[in-house]
Chains A and B, each alone.
Chain A
Amino acid sequence: MVEGYTGNIIQRHSDGRREGEYDAVDVDFVLLPDPTFALLLSELKDLGGRIWNKEKVFVTIDHFAPPSTIERANIAKAVISFAKAEELPHQSTYQGICHQLLIEGPWLRPGMLVLGADSHTTTAGALGCLATGMGSTDILYTLMTGKTWLKPPGTVRIDLKGKLLPYLMGKDIILDLLGRFGEGGFLYQALEFNDNDGALPMDDRFAVCNMVVEGGAKNGLFIPDKVTRKYLENRDGQSGDWGECFDEKPLYLNRMEVDISTLHPKVALPHSPARVVDADEIKGESIQQVFIGSCTGGRLRDLEMTARLLRKKKIASGMRLLISPASQKIYREAIEKGFLQTILEAGGVILNPSCGLCGGIDKGILGAGESCLSTSNRNFQGRMGDPSSSIYLASPATAAASSLAGRIIDPREVMS
């Protein structure tokens, strides 16, 4: 049985082979970030080193950007050398986080089947793609063959109702779902969001799809609509061909409705993205650091919201506010629009785009017992530093408001 648009996409990409519950499908595009690509390089070379279609892969140096140790420098160097030797047409060094660059580039359109060697590849589902993350060996198979084996997932249709209030963001919507359904609440499933009223800006949709993986989902997908069309027109000058995947209305065995206008700003408590409470319930919790950035919360709307909250104010004494735009393009736009000037004047520190902070790779590492409120996607124990440190997750609005207070607060406390 074909469920959801995800099922349609799988069916239309199938090469006709089926084994057990798995279909062999043709892959449209592959994302290759530095560490996980490095992990498969030697095997790829052993197997002849030939990528099935160089036009369909995108290599990024974003995790080790720039590298902070000799070993990481050598890993990045190996990736850069390979991309150069193979003359891969799509590659980027230090230009941003892979998931942001993937959707800024001219490659993806609704109905495509996209894989990435990183779990947050789900982000691209906001453009109506089936986008999912895999480990290096799976990606190696795809690089050799242009194919992968997928088990068509059960699909949950989520209809969003109501307006998004000024203090709410996509992050609150996904944290609410994770809080209600748990870390494994959507295991192996596809989440398909219908935002018929166009309540969510594209940046918020990216944040939602980014974090579906924290509920165990295979992918998240926003049913393409006028918001999608406008995004693609702005990006490519035209919205392009969406294929036939959205022609037929699909079947759903599970449906739910979320009235986004009744939500409260949410915070995920240490050490699980699904331990979610209203910001109001945890207010007053002391934090030493606020991080606004990552592939979840470092987009232009996130920085705009941050600047709006910080305008003509100063962050709390002793507070460390770290900002990392998700890409150089966002960085430039945030400068042009004056967001970064405002953030700097409030006391924020701007870092270059990279996966460094969120993944505990470099910069902003937490010491023993320290707490950080982060707009990223994971707050597992020790992810950003010492095993005894704590990470809270929230929207950029809640994070910026909390940086002013020096403790966690509901953003409504400082929003007029």
Chain B
Amino acid sequence: MGFLLKNLWAADKFTVLSLPIAMACAVALRYAWIYLPKFVIDQVTNGSSVGQIALATGIFVVACIVIESINGYFSGNAGNRFMKVTVNFQHRIFKKTLNCDYALLEGSEGQTKYQKAKSCEGDSFNDRANSTSMIWNFFQTTQNVLMFILFTTVLSVVNPLIVVLVLVGSGAELLARLAFEKWVEKQKDRWAKTDKRQNYVIKTSSDSKSGKDIRIYKMSKWFADLREMLLKEQIKNRRERNFKELVSDIPYLLNTFLRDALAYAYLAWKASIGEISVGDLILYFNAITLFSTQMQNVVGWIHEINLSNYKICDLRSYLDMPDRPDPVNPTDVTSLSRPLTIEFCGVCFSYPGSEKLILDHLSMQIRGGEKIALVGVNGAGKTTIVKLLCGFYQPTKGKILIGGQDIANMRREDIFSLLSAVFQDISLLPVTVAQNVAMKKPEDVDYALVKDCLERAGIWEHVSQLPQAENTQLLRFIHDDGVMLSGGEQQKLLLARSLYKQAPVLILDEPTAALDPISESEVYDKYQELAGSSTVLFISHRLASTRFCDRIFFLENGAITERGSHAELMTAGGKYAGMFEIQSHYYKENVTPNGNLALEGGAV
């Protein structure tokens, strides 16, 4: 709670200061409210004049209005201003996601934490975010406890036994309620599973992305069946829950009955023997009713605060997830001699939580300015090498050197500053084309360089025809006039992004997969020019690309088994040669269609 209040204070001081006043007013008001009938009745029974009654009621009403206005204005404000905390938290989650170690984010533990943190603050303001509701509930509870104390004093004046009676009754109610909540807690995961599945089914069927497959394969009936099945289960779960809740309501019903009947009878008896006035009767009776309602509310709120508290803890554990500390005496990367060399020395790696060795004592040396092609079958570990080189993950064993220095001794930012890459996953942002290339704030973008990079990537012609050329927004999510690019165009844009950075090391992971043959060939033709003096690591299933590289590393089972130039490896006739043969098979003249090829080198 202290954590939340601190955040609220940072977001909105006015609210924190106004809340105690609002609370005091609310309590005073409740008190006045139960006094009003007694007040008026007492006036009447005392035989006051019309003027006196008018004056008394008038003063009372005006006082109430003033108090209520103060309370209402502050509470009304607070209710909305609380949400600032939620927005701040959403922003902090977002920033954490942008800045934390990549390995944390990709790993399943980090993903779970992220999802939990996200669900804590709600994806929209529709479902109340936990921070907002927790603060709100906390103040409500405090307010109610204060009222509770006041009513207890009022009631104990008549007979302390009444207080005991109400407490016992409410206690029984509370116990039944708690037992029910405990039971719900146990069933919750089972219910949530069904709900999650149903959500998936409904969301997927409402999603236009799957439209083609659903129509071609006539899957609408399948979806309908799944939904029906899950709905039945959901209804069953709801029935179960409501029935159980009904049972837990029995003490409440009985308590209301006994409490009201006994209290009525007792107070009426007191009044009939003249010990209390008729006005007092109304006062006490109202007090009892409010007292019990207060108790019920407090039970509910405490329960909710508890739930929110768990969620807030989830949120904090995500926000406080520690990054790997940067080295104390980092290497000065600007002093490294260019072009940069890259070296892997006996690197072993397996993903956190997995036993499988992806890289097994892998060693390789790349000379400064050298262009290397990394080749291997799916799952041989090519992409993992890229992730290690970028410092997203650390090797389980062995060392990685850039420019002769261990990257373990470099700061994260410094490693990043040395590298530029086209990753396999296409990842464009809903900002302008120029910003997508530069990844900078609009005022920091070097537009001449952006244009130059777009030209070199072979997409300037297309970009210049867009409504606002390089200042056109991409994607339609935020801007209705955003432009959607085809797969090939997106890939060219990513290439431009990697060029803009002008880093000494360039990593290209399948940069031509979505390009048509002519665009692909253009990229190859311009390859030397694109790469410049950078050290390049090129990964591709299209072995044609290897021709432009100085050397080829063939990766198999997490280690490099063959290395050398294309000509050398072809002469050696190893696995690389086999793979190249396979791919070039259909490109050769005079192939009989469907003619079989003996796979050389046992590559299959």
Q: Does A associate with B in a complex?
A: no
* A→B interface (CB under 8 Å): none
